[in-house]
Chains A and B, each alone.
Chain A
Amino acid sequence: MLINTVVLLLRNGLPIVIMVTLLLLMVQSYQLYRLKVAWLGTLLLSLFIIFWVIHYVDNIAQFYHGIALELLFSSFYIAIYLVVLLCLYITCFKATKININYLYMLIFLLIFSLNGSRFFIYLTGFWLQSQLQVSLLIGALLGLGICISIGILMYFMLLFTQKKYQQPFVLLLVLLFACGQLNQAVDLLSQVDFLPSYEALWNTSSLLSEDSELGYFFTALLGYEATPSILHFIIYFSALIIPLSGYYFTNRQQESLKQDL
């Protein structure tokens, strides 16, 4: 039970911690302080969404032929990808008409609500059936400790990389994270027959199992899949290559326009 809870927290807590770490590297500290009330509001709204989902989860799960929960969660994953893309566009092209801080808050809201809801849905399931509530609490604390430690390590490793490479590397990690979220949506939509399922292209479970600690980390950070189907492959690389090539070509066009001017 203790190990199960630790694993559960690693699986759902790591995406939140990784995204918060990357956001902390992108957000200016004075802006974080200036908008502290808005951030607190975002946190409270996320907690409210988690509470709402947990409270009505068995009813939500029955809607639309019993697949509404998957549709809800996959729409969250897709929304995360789209908002991250918008953030990257604003950061790369200095499009300041939209306040990027509110987009960061939206990303946090989506990730925290989604993973928090998934975590508490599973945890309440365990809680209802287990006589070992103390083990659950200890497991949750241990998992939380591991997640926060990983986040702190990652933050300082990225902070101490060379200034020249730090921002592009962080932005690339954010894009890879968003692609990974899209992969999660593919899994959920395949499960409810909104997307076709295919045989796995390869199996790297023997090299790096998805159920290992490192597997959880890479699944959360990069969307690692030990047995990806052709659909995972196409969607992941399209989601990665289209924005990168869009950035490259738009940059080139802007350069040529500047030269013309």
Chain B
Amino acid sequence: MINFLAKRILKLQVSNINRLVTYRVGVLKRHITTLSKISFYLFFACLSITSAWAARPEFIITIKDHLFYPARLVIPENTKVKLVIVNQDNTPEQFDSFDLNREKVIFAGKKSVVYVGPLSAGNYHFFGEYHPNSARGVVIVSNKNSKKEVVNVN
């Protein structure tokens, strides 16, 4: 009788453990399916973002003799723009801006890309971290038509 009861209890425990394992495997499968779906959507989101890059208005800033040209750059309001920063010096420079919340090292003789905006009207200062006294500039966000200004404020 005791032997029979012990076997019954053991069987019950084994079935409970099986239930637990089946439940865990089910949860894991659901998680994997969800993760696969998220990855799939993310992949296509990245693709669409890449195609949207072409549509951004593009502005060029050149670093020469540790100065930014243009030092005053006018961009349109509420528009995300692409800043192409070309470093013509033979030393690296770091484009830095607390106002724009951007920082990026531009290596010697190379160019790099930083996206800014959409921004409301106002002045947003930037500087070169390695030459903070000379390399300074300002992005002017204007609600009028934007144009590139080649005025040096240094």
Which residues in A have some Cβ–Cβ distance to B below 8 Å? Answer: 57-58, 61-62, 65-67, 70, 121-122, 124-126, 128-129, 187, 190-194, 196-197, 199, 211, 227, 257, 260-261
Q: Which of B16, B23, B53, B92 contacts A65 (CB 8 A)?
A: B53
Interface presence of B124 (CB below 8 A): no
Q: A57-B107, A58-B107, A227-B101 are in contact. Are A191 and B92 (CB under 8 A)?
A: no
With A125-B93, A257-B23 known, 11 other A-B pairs at CB within 8 A are: A57-B107, A58-B107, A61-B105, A65-B53, A125-B94, A128-B92, A129-B130, A129-B131, A192-B114, A193-B52, A193-B82
Contact between A192 and B91 (Cβ–Cβ < 8 Å)?
no
A58 to B130, CA, bound (A): 17
A62 to B113, CA, bound (A): 10
Residues of A within 8 A of B117 (CB): 197
Chain B positions 8 through 45: 1 when the CB is less than 8 Å from some CB of chain A, otherwise 0: 00000100100010010000000000000000000000
Q: A66-B113, A191-B104, A193-B80 are in contact. Are A122 and B94 (CB under 8 A)?
A: yes
Contact between B110 and A260 (Cβ–Cβ < 8 Å)?
no
Measured between C-beta atoms, what is the minimum distance from A246 to chain B in Å?
10
A257 to B118, CA, bound (A): 51
Residues of A within 8 A of B4 (CB): none
Q: A65-B113, A66-B111, A197-B80 are in contact. Are A128 and B91 (CB under 8 A)?
A: yes
Interface presence of B152 (CB below 8 A): no
Contact between A211 and B113 (Cβ–Cβ < 8 Å)?
no
Measured between C-beta atoms, what is the minimum distance from A116 to chain B in Å?
15
Main secondary structure of the interface of A (DSSP, over half): helix
> Which A-B residue pairs are the 3 nearest by beta carbons?
A58-B107, A193-B115, A66-B113
Residues of A within 8 A of B102 (CB): 191
Residues of A within 8 A of B13 (CB): 261
Residues of A within 8 A of B46 (CB): 194
Q: List 25 A-B contacts (CB under 8 A).
A: A57-B107, A62-B110, A65-B53, A66-B112, A66-B113, A70-B104, A122-B94, A122-B129, A124-B92, A125-B92, A125-B93, A125-B105, A125-B129, A128-B92, A129-B131, A190-B115, A192-B114, A193-B53, A193-B82, A197-B118, A199-B119, A199-B120, A257-B23, A261-B13, A261-B20
A66 to B82, CA, bound (A): 12
Residues of A within 8 A of B52 (CB): 193
Cβ-Cβ contact count across A and B, 8 Å cutoff: 69
Residue of B nearest to A67 (CB): B113
Measured between C-beta atoms, what is the minimum distance from B17 to chain A in Å?
8
Measured between C-beta atoms, what is the minimum distance from B102 to chain A in Å?
6
Measured between C-beta atoms, what is the minimum distance from B109 to chain A in Å?
9
Contact between B49 and A129 (Cβ–Cβ < 8 Å)?
no
Residue of B nearest to A261 (CB): B16
Measured between C-beta atoms, what is the minimum distance from B139 to chain A in Å?
14
A87 to B94, CA, bound (A): 36
A66 to B53, CA, bound (A): 12
Contact between B105 and A122 (Cβ–Cβ < 8 Å)?
yes
Measured between C-beta atoms, what is the minimum distance from B144 to chain A in Å?
20
Residue of A nearest to B108 (CB): A58
